[in-house]
Structure 1
Amino acid sequence: MKALVLSGGAGTRLRPITHTSAKQLVPVANKAVLFYGLESIAAAGITEVGVIVGDTADEIREAVGDGASFGLDVTYLPQARPLGLAHAVLIARDYLGDDDFVMYLGDNFIVGGITGLVDAFRHTRPDAQILLTRVPDPRAFGVAELNGCGQVVGLEEKPDHPKSDLALVGVYLFTPVIHEAVRAISPSRRGELEITHAIQHLIDTGADVRSTLVKGYWKDTGNVVDMLEVNRTVLESVERRIDGDVDGRSETIGRVVVEEGARVVNSRVVGPVVIGAGTEVRDSYVGPFTSIAENCRITDSELEFSIVLRDSSIHGVGRIENSLIGRHVEVTPAPVVPSAHRLVLGDHSKVQIHT
């Protein structure tokens, strides 16, 4: 069995971060989202992985390499334009051959991995297995309709009027019959080859399409709110570890990770927090659910429920929260502007000004 990992999307919902960085490499708890997926694939006993890459191919290649650090053998499959998930399957045809495969969207995060799902698929081997989860607003997702027996009878891609609240999670398991299905469909109104249309083709032609309801934690980390939420979830499981330097005037409370080479000086850190190697926190407060990447400088500031990417600095700006701060960013106080009142008053006016 092989894996097909999609890492070619533009990440428009994470701009401006993704103007200069691949969305799959934005870190949560100081590890790229993509890496969690690759580790899940390796844990499921799959070693051959094809990675779909687009405009950010060089960055993905540099980060993942040949896959050996994950226990994988990675092959890169260029996609000139992001023309849909089914298009990714289409261009991966030669690589996938006649093997069963799991398709994993590189910006998705599933707590607990996919080992149980892969094992069950290997045992029962339906033509396709989809993962579903209930969401408050399914209009932004592929949506599944089940009959009274729980069988999948219909799929829609981002419908205006969803027939259920069951959204497709970004992990799919297929046998080689999917290749005929992706060749049989036409582009959608969005101009893409939709994987939902390909699976619908399987349903319409009598193939065995099954679904599993994901009861654990899943997120599509396509926007800042979800990215911060995934960061919070991962940090809740970290264990306290102080490998760097924490001086006697500082206080670290709870599940705090200070990586080797990091320094905490005259500061208060309340976990769960991860502070990356080479980072210095001085005269500051770092609050829960914050991850600070390597080689950052945090001075005379307060930071909470945020992600700070590498080589950035925050100095003297009071409190920052619910924020995603990119690489090589400088956050400093604005110049003090004298306050003034501009008045146009008629005759015999009386004005009280609070000073």
Structure 2
Amino acid sequence: MKSLVLAGGSGTRLRPITHTSAKQLVPVGNKPVLFYGLEAIAATGITEVGIVVGDTADEIEKAVGDGSQFGIQVTYIRQESPLGLAHAVLIARDFLGDEDFLMYLGDNFIVGGIADVVDEFREDRPDAQVLLTRVPDPSRFGVAELDAAGQVLKLEEKPRQPKSDLALVGVYLFTPAIHRAVRAVKASWRGELEITDAIQWLIDERLRVRSTTITGYWKDTGNVDDMLEANRTVLETLVPGIKGETDDATQIIGRVRIEAGAVVRGSRIVGPAVVGAGTVVIDSYLGPFTSVSENCHIEDSEIEYSIILADSSIRGVHRVEASLVGRSVEVTPAPRVRAAHRLVLGDYSKVQISS
């Protein structure tokens, strides 16, 4: 069995971060989202992984390498433009061959792994198996309609009027039957070859499509709010440890990890929070659910429930909350302007101004 990981796409919902960086490499808990998926795939025993890449191919390849750090062997497959998930399967045909495969969207985050689901698929081997979860806003996702017995009746991509609240999680399992399906479907109104249409083709052809509804934590980390929520979830299970340098004037409260090479002076850090290697924190407050990546400089500032990417500096700023700060960013106070009142008053006016 092989795996196909999708790490292309333009990441429009995470702009401007993704103007210069792959959305799959934005970190939660100071580790790229993509790495959690690769670790989950490795835990299933799958070792041959094809990664579909687009405009950010060089960055993805530099971060993942040959896959040996995850215990897998990686083959990169170039997708010239984001033409849909079914298109990704189409162009990966040579890599996939006639083997069953797991398809995993590289910006998805699932707590608890997927090993049990993969084992179920291997044992029962339906033509396709989809993962579902209940969501409050199903129109943002592919949506499944089930019958009373839980069998998949219909799938629809981002429907304007959803038939259910069961969204497709970005994990799919397929036999080689899917290759006929992706060749049979036409582009949707979005101009993409939709994997939902390909799975619907399997259903219409009376092939077996099984669903599993998961109750654990899942996030499509496609926007800032979802990234912050995923970061919060990771930090809730943080293993604390002070490997960096702290002074007597620093307070460490709760689950806090300070990586080797980091320096914290005269500051208060309330966990769960993580400070990356080489980062300097001086006379500052880091509050719960904050991840500061490597080689940052935080001074005379307050940060809470935020993600700060590598090589950035925040100095003299009160207060930063619910924020995603990109790489090599400088945040400083605005220049102070003397307060003044500008008045245009008619004759005999009376004005009261608080000083």
What is the CA–CA distance in structure 1 between the aligned matches of 2:173 and 2:72, rounded to whole Å?
19
Shift of 1:294: 0.3
What is the CA–CA distance in structure 1 between the aligned matches of 2:137 and 2:313, rounded to whole Å?
37
Residue of structure 2 equivalent to 1:141: 141
Deviations along 1:118-153, whole A, 9 cap, x unmatched? Answer: 011001100000000111111010000001111100
What is the CA–CA distance in structure 2 between the aligned matches of 1:137 and 1:292, rounded to whole Å?
31
Shift of 1:257: 0.1
Q: How does 1:123-272 map to 2 (within 5 A)?
A: 123-272=123-272
Shift of 1:354: 1.0
Secondary structure, counterpart of 1:225 in structure 2: helix
For 1:294, the aligned partner's letter is E
Q: How does 1:300-339 map to 2 (within 5 A)?
A: 300-339=300-339
Shift of 1:163: 0.4
Residue of structure 2 equivalent to 1:14: 14
Residue of structure 1 equivalent to 2:38: 38
1:26 paired to 2:40: no
Deviations along 1:175-233, whole A, 9 cap, x unmatched? Answer: 00000000000000111000000000000000000100010000000000000000000
Q: In angstroms, what is the RMSD of aligned CA positions?
A: 0.5
What is the CA–CA distance in structure 2 between the aligned matches of 1:318 and 1:290, rounded to whole Å?
15
For 1:341, the aligned partner's letter is H
What is the CA–CA distance in structure 1 between the aligned matches of 2:21 and 2:82, rounded to whole Å?
16
Q: 40-49 or 339-348, which moves further after superposition?
A: 339-348
What is the CA–CA distance in structure 2 between the aligned matches of 1:113 and 1:7, rounded to whole Å?
19
Deviations along 1:309-347, whole A, 9 cap, x unmatched? Answer: 000000001110100000000001111111111111121
Shift of 1:115: 0.5
What is the CA–CA distance in structure 1 between the aligned matches of 2:347 and 2:41, rounded to whole Å?
78
What is the CA–CA distance in structure 2 between the aligned matches of 1:135 and 1:107, rounded to whole Å?
17
Deviations along 1:6-28, whole A, 9 cap, x unmatched? Answer: 00011000000000000000000
Secondary structure, counterpart of 1:318 in structure 2: coil
Secondary structure, counterpart of 1:199 in structure 2: helix
Length-normalised TM-score, structure 1: 0.99
| 4+ long deviations beyond 3 Å | none
What is the CA–CA distance in structure 2 between the aligned matches of 1:189 and 1:239, rounded to whole Å?
46
For 2:283, the aligned partner's letter is D
Deviations along 1:75-97, whole A, 9 cap, x unmatched? Answer: 00000000000000000011000
What is the CA–CA distance in structure 2 between the aligned matches of 1:70 and 1:124, rounded to whole Å?
27
Deviations along 1:149-181, whole A, 9 cap, x unmatched? Answer: 111000001010000011000000000000000
Share of identical aligned residues, percent?
72
For 2:173, the aligned partner's letter is L
Unaligned runs of 5+ in 1: none
Length-normalised TM-score, structure 2: 0.99
Unaligned runs of 5+ in 2: none
What is the CA–CA distance in structure 1 between the aligned matches of 2:116 and 2:42, rounded to whole Å?
13
What is the CA–CA distance in structure 1 between the aligned matches of 2:148 and 2:294, rounded to whole Å?
52
Shift of 1:303: 0.5
Secondary structure, counterpart of 1:317 in structure 2: coil
Q: How many residues in Structure 1 have an aligned counterpart in Structure 2?
A: 355
Residue of structure 2 equivalent to 1:286: 286
Q: 71-80 or 338-347, which moves further after superposition?
A: 338-347
